[in-house]
Amino acid sequence: MPRELTQNRIQKIWMSSKGDRPAVPRRGGGPHLANPPTVIVMVGLPARGKTYMSKKLTRYLNWIGMPTKVFNVGEYRREAVKNYSSYDFFKPDNENALKIRQQCALAALRDVKSYLTDEGGQVAVFDATNTTRERREMILHFGSENGFKIFFIESVCDDPSVIASNIMEVKVSCPDYQDCNKTDAMLDFQKRIECYKASYQPLDPDQYDRDLSFIKVIDVGRRFLANRIQDHIQSKIVYYLMNIHVQPRAIYLCRHGESTDNLQGRLGGDAGLSPRGKKFAAALARFVEEQQLKDLKVWTSQLCRSIQTAEDLGVPYEQWKALNEIDAGVCEEMTYDEVKEKFPEEFDLRDQDKYYYRYPAGESYQDLVQRVEPVIMELERQENVLVVCHQAVMRCLLAYFLDKSADEMPYLKCPLHTVLKLTPVAYGCKVESISLNVEAVNTHRDRPEEVKKGPGTLLRRNSVTPLTSPESNIKKPRIDDLDDASIQEVPASGLCSPAHLALAGQNLRRSSAGRHDVLQPCQ
Amino acid sequence: MALTIDTSTEQKTLTQTALLKIWVPWMGYNMNRRRGSSVPQFCNSPTMLVMVGLPARGKTYISKKLTRYLNWIGVPTKMFNVGQYRREAVQIYKNFEFFKPDNEEAMRIRKACAAAALKDVAAYFTREKGQVAVFDATNTTRERRAVIISFAKERGYKVFFVESICDDPDIIAENIKQVKFGSPDYMDRDTDEAMQDFIQRIECYKATYVPIDDEKDRNLSYIKIFNVGSRYLVNRVQDHIQSRIVYYLMNIHVTPRSIYLSRHGESELNLLGRIGGDSGLSPRGQKYANALATFIKSQKISDLKVWTSHMKRTIQTAEAVGIQYEQWKALNEIDAGVCEELTYEEIQENFPEEFALRDQDKYRYRYPKGESYEDLVHRLEPVIMELERQENVLVVCHQAVMRCLLAYFLDKPADELPYLRCPLHTVLKLTPVAYGCKVEPCFLNIEAVNTHRERPVNVDVDRDPEDALLTVPDHI
């Protein structure tokens, strides 16, 4: 019996049209990446970079399409105990505090469970010190009760200068210390660390913990110990952790100079620079020199306009095919008007869902993310880099660095002749937009006002649907049975059923203008 | 000729090289620094991968596998097995006494062999433009490792150690059975005798074995592999290639399994002799899909994963098999750019020069607005990585893609890759065995067109059309 296949209109993915035979789980692009859900459990003394790694990992996993969320127990504690007074709270003999801390951990775990079972999450990052075996046993028990895989990430570091620097970078300015001066904050925090040290039981790969799956990150990545990596996602996490570093550096993203195709409003193609584009190349060279960077790497795509732009810099550059502009397939080299005229239906479909939409015989933003992932991995390894690329590609890269969702990505503003300078700072990335003052056409098409949502099914491909790392603690922890009257009970505000999950027949819920979080609280 | 963008006189002229379709500032620009045209080259100084471990710990297995992988992704790599040098020097192996630590004569020979191997490593880097040399020997003493480190330092080579530690007697016995009995050293012995001798050999090394020390050697770059991958200790990864090597080592395993490679069933475009496109199966192609389903059932494979591309013809084929499948865009057929859906005759007529260039260097040749085999390899690398992680997998893909995957498993070099035979309606069953891969082709007895085009004798751009089309297979 020949199987009838139809190609879904937005993603151009072939699927069996016979409803009776759902032999196929509708997952393209990659293997089952994280079935069952995984809880990543951070382990380590304070100021060891646990939250830094949690946030970065979460951003990366969401970008590659793995719904991930951080659950920071410290935040639950700050909700429960409105005012932080001093490190005394963390003393091992402070029974009242211990109770609260335990409750916070439990509340966070409850939310983890809810995220992974009811909200479509695949990975939950449990960000806390988790320094005792007792606490970790509890988590392991929680995992096995619910069918979650548990993967520990322990950060071990004894270098006092690294620790002091961490404290300065993220602790002295944290809510706990908002009314303190820096010196006092530093002192208090160090005493806080001492409170934990006495009871700290590191993971023991030789005996006690030899059957657990974990990675120990030692001295900010100088050394790693990986034990019993179970599956694809753990392997990718380990690879990612081994490639990131904390050296200060800057990443410069820009597009090629204006091209002759840009002037005509044509998509794609492989045209050279227009006269203004060449001016930009010269201006870029001056800009780079002014930055006085040590050891700048320059990357381009393999398209002429990007290379022409880099040629003027007078430094060696590397060409990446992976940085080529999105392939517009049959629409290559057409203007938007020509596309509208020749392929009106395609034109509409693209506006309906620009992220998932794949040009006929071309690519989608979703495909781009997968293509560009090795570039991101190498950017993490490198230090100062200038990437001369293209509009759609730059949007993908920017979405990774700025934690933008799939929904927002295709509408990020990446104008010609403007350099974006990204500098890692604290838990995120600072962006400076620098226009080099050379006129150019505008190639940005805003999201159309009225987007008719078709009833089409969207196939959720695990490997490539970036989501913004969800805001933590949109709702407050439900902490019961506590004596302290200052703690308010907050009703559980269940998050909507996940907008990003596309089981057959479910419509993608879209947020309108503003913050395009995929998960939004229902009112 | 090559496309030229003539910009203004102040600007450099960029030209696109004819074969690789790479834009360069001027023709003759030295691109030799970089081999892979899709991805930047990340190896600057040559790197020595130095194996460490007692005999039968999988060092040669890892060396060969790593060498195969690195070569496939385009990093010129060569293995130097000191045991082979020893077999050259000492023609006949008597018994384990050769390896006794107090056997001075033998010690001299062994040291000389290691030195000869190092000399060849240097020659490989300087004369043969190698990038990675895998130094496969026990290297179990600090002294020997110090020699290697200073050798590398003198010449500016990076050193990365790979130590394999295993104390599970079952694994070791299995290793000995798998690869040692068949070694030239034990050709004329019976297996019990060989086993006993080899165990004694291991004991000789044990006495002087000093593993890499996490304290004393903390400034070295290394990975320790414990018990065939249940644990890894990674220290001071210096660069991209070492990071890739670590990632690879952490993904491979030795659990027995089979990989089945097959193309989609014959497609409508295949019948017409047209390349590329996204057509559906022909009636015979559909027959194949059903035959494949039967074949797979007969293999009684536990927990089989099925992967297809995003193209209709592979999906239709997999649908018949009736097992959940995953679609990988990375498995899509090579993009023939402007030549998509043309017959070879039409390509010859419309793009005779391109057609000839392709015959000149089929591996590196990139279709205008399309891809090359070299691009394909880079595209497929995540598939290979995941194949290494998996166990039983059936991959339903396409001719060029299957050639790339096959070249990886069978260690075929770039110039053979584009001419590997991957006929329609034939499943290749690959089973890892000893240091390599056993291949069993299974033709499922459904007729199909031949899509294999041999390299013609005349590859000149000025050749006659008849010469160009000589090897084109028959079609409608």
Nearest CA-CA distance, residue B86 and chain A, Å: 35
Residues of A in contact with B325 (CB under 8 A): 24
CB B168 within 8 A of CB B80: no
CB B392 within 8 A of CB B413: no
Q: Residues 6 or more apart from A85 whose CB is under 8 A from it?
A: none
Whole-number percent of chain A with pLDDT over 70: 82
Q: What is the pLDDT of residues A90-125, one digit of tens each?
A: 998 999 999 999 999 999 999 999 999 999 999 999
Across the interface, do A308 and B320 touch by the CB < 8 Å criterion?
Answer: no
- Tell me what pLDDT residue A469 has: 64
**Which of B237, B233, B214, B216 is CA-nearest to residue B225?**
B233
Across the interface, do B315 and A320 touch by the CB < 8 Å criterion?
Answer: no
More confident residue, B125 or A520: B125
The encoded tokens of residue A428 equal: 């995120």
Closest residue of chain A to B383, computed from CA coordinates: A30
Q: What is the pLDDT of residues A364-377, one digit of tens each?
A: 999 999 999 999 99
Residues of B in contact with A320 (CB under 8 A): 38-40
Q: How far apart are CA A181 and CA A47, in angstroms?
A: 18
Nearest CA-CA distance, residue A291 and chain B, Å: 23
Q: Tell me which residues of A are annotated as active site.
A: 127, 157, 256, 325
Closest residue of chain B to A379, computed from CA coordinates: B240
Question: What residue type is assigned to position B15 of the chain?
Answer: T
- Tell me what pLDDT residue B315 has: 96
- Tell me what pLDDT residue A8 has: 87
Closest residue of chain A to B234, computed from CA coordinates: A224
| B339 catalytically annotated | no
Across the interface, do B326 and A378 touch by the CB < 8 Å criterion?
Answer: no
- Tell me what pLDDT residue A396 has: 98
Residues of A in contact with B42 (CB under 8 A): 378
Q: How far apart are CA A243 and CA A48, in angstroms?
A: 17
Across the interface, do B40 and A299 touch by the CB < 8 Å criterion?
Answer: yes
Q: How far apart are CA B123 and CA B133, in angstroms?
A: 11
Across the interface, do B340 and A361 touch by the CB < 8 Å criterion?
Answer: yes
Q: What is the pLDDT of residues B279-291, one digit of tens each?
A: 999 999 999 999 9
* Helix or strand (DSSP H, E) at A152: strand A149-156
Q: How far apart are CA B456 and CA A167, in angstroms?
A: 69
Q: What is the pLDDT of residues A23-64, one digit of tens each?
A: 333 333 334 444 899 999 999 999 999 999 999 999 999 999
Q: How far apart are CA A279 and CA A257, in angstroms?
A: 8
Q: What is the pLDDT of residues B80-92, one digit of tens each?
A: 999 999 999 998 8
Across the interface, do A242 and B246 touch by the CB < 8 Å criterion?
Answer: yes
**Which of A369, A331, A324, A323 is CA-nearest to residue A350?**
A331
- Tell me what pLDDT residue B14 has: 86
CB A153 within 8 A of CB A45: no
CB A320 within 8 A of CB A301: yes
Query: Does position A488 have pLDDT exceeding 70, yes or no?
Result: no
Closest residue of chain A to B388, computed from CA coordinates: A232
| B166 catalytically annotated | yes
Q: What is the pLDDT of residues A59-71, one digit of tens each?
A: 999 999 999 999 9
Q: How far apart are CA A135 and CA B61, in angstroms?
A: 41
CB A325 within 8 A of CB A390: yes
Residues of B in contact with A222 (CB under 8 A): 235-236
Nearest CA-CA distance, residue B5 and chain A, Å: 7
- Tell me what pLDDT residue A3 has: 61
The encoded tokens of residue A460 equal: 């959720």
Q: How far apart are CA A465 and CA A508, in angstroms?
A: 13
- Tell me what pLDDT residue A516 has: 31
Across the interface, do B312 and A205 touch by the CB < 8 Å criterion?
Answer: no
* Helix or strand (DSSP H, E) at A236: helix A232-243
Across the interface, do A205 and B231 touch by the CB < 8 Å criterion?
Answer: yes
Give pLDDT < 50 ranges for chain B. 1-11, 32-37
Residues of A in contact with B320 (CB under 8 A): 3
- Tell me what pLDDT residue A172 has: 84
The interface residues of chain A toward chain B in range 339-398, judged by CB-CB distance below 8 A, are 361, 367, 370, 374, 378, 381
Query: Does position A513 have pLDDT exceeding 60, yes or no?
Result: no
Q: What is the pLDDT of residues A119-150, one digit of tens each?
A: 999 999 999 999 999 999 999 999 999 999 99
- Tell me what pLDDT residue B39 has: 54
Across the interface, do A28 and B316 touch by the CB < 8 Å criterion?
Answer: no
Nearest CA-CA distance, residue A276 and chain B, Å: 12
Q: CA Rg, chain A, in Å? A: 25
Across the interface, do B319 and A320 touch by the CB < 8 Å criterion?
Answer: no
Q: Considering CB atoms only, which of A2, A227, A304 is closest to B14?
A: A304
Across the interface, do B243 and A243 touch by the CB < 8 Å criterion?
Answer: yes
Helices (H), A3-159: 50-63, 73-80, 95-118, 133-146
Looking at this predicted complex, what is its ipTM?
Answer: 0.92
CB A502 within 8 A of CB A355: no
Q: Considering CB atoms only, which of A14, A32, A222 is closest to B312?
A: A14
Q: Considering CB atoms only, which of B25, B236, B316 is closest to A5?
A: B316
Q: Considering CB atoms only, which of B243, B312, B389 is closest to A232?
A: B389
Nearest CA-CA distance, residue A450 and chain B, Å: 31
Residues of B in contact with A272 (CB under 8 A): 5, 7, 14
The interface residues of chain A toward chain B in range 280-339, judged by CB-CB distance below 8 A, are 299, 302-304, 307-308, 311-312, 318-322, 332
Closest residue of chain B to A220, computed from CA coordinates: B236
- Tell me what pLDDT residue B28 has: 58
Across the interface, do A303 and B23 touch by the CB < 8 Å criterion?
Answer: yes
Q: What is the 3-state secondary structure (H, E, C) of A451-513?
A: CCCCCCCCCCCHHHCCCCCCCCCCCCCCCCCCCCCCCCCCCCCCECCCCCCCCCCCCCCCCCC
Query: Does position A460 have pLDDT exceeding 60, yes or no?
Result: no
More confident residue, A277 or B37: A277
Q: What is the pLDDT of residues A401-459, one digit of tens each?
A: 999 999 999 999 999 999 999 999 888 899 999 999 999 999 999 988 866 444 444 54
Check B43, B166, B204, B397 and give the catalytic one. Answer: B166
Check B43, B113, B136, B217 and give the catalytic one. Answer: B136
Choice among A15-19, A384-388, A447-451, B114-118 with the minimum mean pLDDT: A15-19
State whether residue A245 sits within 8 Å of chain B by CB: no
Confidence of residue A466 (pLDDT cuts 50, 70, 90): low
Closest residue of chain B to A272, computed from CA coordinates: B5
Query: Does position A183 have pLDDT exceeding 80, yes or no?
Result: yes
Across the interface, do A319 and B232 touch by the CB < 8 Å criterion?
Answer: no
Entry pTM:
0.89
Nearest CA-CA distance, residue A263 and chain B, Å: 16
Confidence of residue A504 (pLDDT cuts 50, 70, 90): very low
Number of H helices, E strands in chain A: 14, 14
Q: Considering CB atoms only, which of B14, B232, B340 is closest to A226?
A: B232
- Tell me what pLDDT residue A451 has: 60
The torsion of the CA quartet A515, A463, A228, B433, rounded to 10 degrees, works out to: -170
Q: Considering CB atoms only, which of B7, B319, B329 is closest to A272?
A: B7
Q: Considering CB atoms only, which of A222, A304, A318 is closest to B5?
A: A304
Nearest CA-CA distance, residue A224 and chain B, Å: 5
Nearest CA-CA distance, residue A453 and chain B, Å: 25
The encoded tokens of residue B32 equal: 């030799």
CB B397 within 8 A of CB B261: yes
Across the interface, do A3 and B319 touch by the CB < 8 Å criterion?
Answer: yes
Length of chain A counted residue by residue: 523
